[in-house]
Structure 1
Amino acid sequence: MTEFVLASGSQIRRQILDNAGIDFTVEKPDVDESVIKDRRSDLSPAGMALVLGKAKAEAVSRGRPRALVLGADQTMELDGALLDKLPDASLARDRLMAMRGRSHQLHSGLALYRDGECVWQHQQSSTLHVRAFSDAFLDDYLERAGFALTASVGAYAFEGLGAQLFEKIEGDYYAILGLPLLPLLDALREFDVIPA
């Protein structure tokens, strides 16, 4: 079988791959996302997710000959604007108030690299509809959410307490978590990482 490397520091991506029974190692890429975002400000939020995922895979792939390296990223779009993770939890109230009763998009970008070359890529988007939650709910959520307020761009972990923010989603559960699993599994079978 081919050596498979996840070029990501994301705990949820590791968990998804673990739960799917995939053998992999982890190497966090040395990529400055802010530099890429500045240089490629012409890209759509969806395009940015793919470019960031590719940059991560390429960075790790250069030092891992013959390994298949997965890079992944996710961006959030609200009213056409690309939003970044919050620098501190004190800003979460404003972000969540801006999202209340409205829809936003999460864009996932995946890339597989081998020997510094892209051999597969995938981009997938989901639309999430935030319910018109009460101020009391928001106060309680902010008190309980903890790390999720700054760990994800939307100030929520959809797989946990953050699910209570939503009335409807349009898209794939795994894509919302930042790793569209089924298309990735197809690719891993093709590249002899998992049995077909």
Structure 2
Amino acid sequence: MSIETIARRYANALADVVTKTGETSVIQDELKQFERIMFENKNLHAVFSNPAVPSNQKSNLLETLLQKTQPKKTTANFLRVLLQNHRLDNLNVVNNSFANLLEERAGLVSAEITTAQPLAAEQQTALRQKLEQSTGKKVVLNFKIDESIIGGVLTRIGSTLYDGSVKNQLSQLKQEIIKA
């Protein structure tokens, strides 16, 4: 079973709990904060991902971190469950799955837009409307700049990539010339 499938199960269970308690955004923020702490400190991540480190040491370390950060009980318990099931080192995948699931339940979808240069506000609006029309959902756009694509737009929605970059078009043209 893939880590994405496993992460979605954890995310689904957590989403069910936080939806009932109304703590959705707080828990999401706390988990993101804990992910930052864990992945910015390579030693910390190494301890949680190393099977040779005894479980009680990992548990003590987690409890120390929880005492210092003072998260909500739901967050703390969720992190304990991940640790107990040897999944705490996959917190980033679980968090991504959790965020996607919450968006999905809210009728939203995230789109990562990569362009060579920043888009004007009118272009952003037109792109959002086109994506909303094609997905049938409200679209949240996240923009990135990558000059290597030369021009055009790369759009990633979930695991699907729509490559409208000039770089890709030139590559396809090159392949056609080679075949001819």
TM > 0.5 between the two?
A: no
Q: 1 or 2, which has the higher helix percentage?
A: 2
TM range (shorter): under 0.3
TM-score normalised to the size of structure 2?
0.28
TM-score normalised by the chain length of structure 1 = 0.26
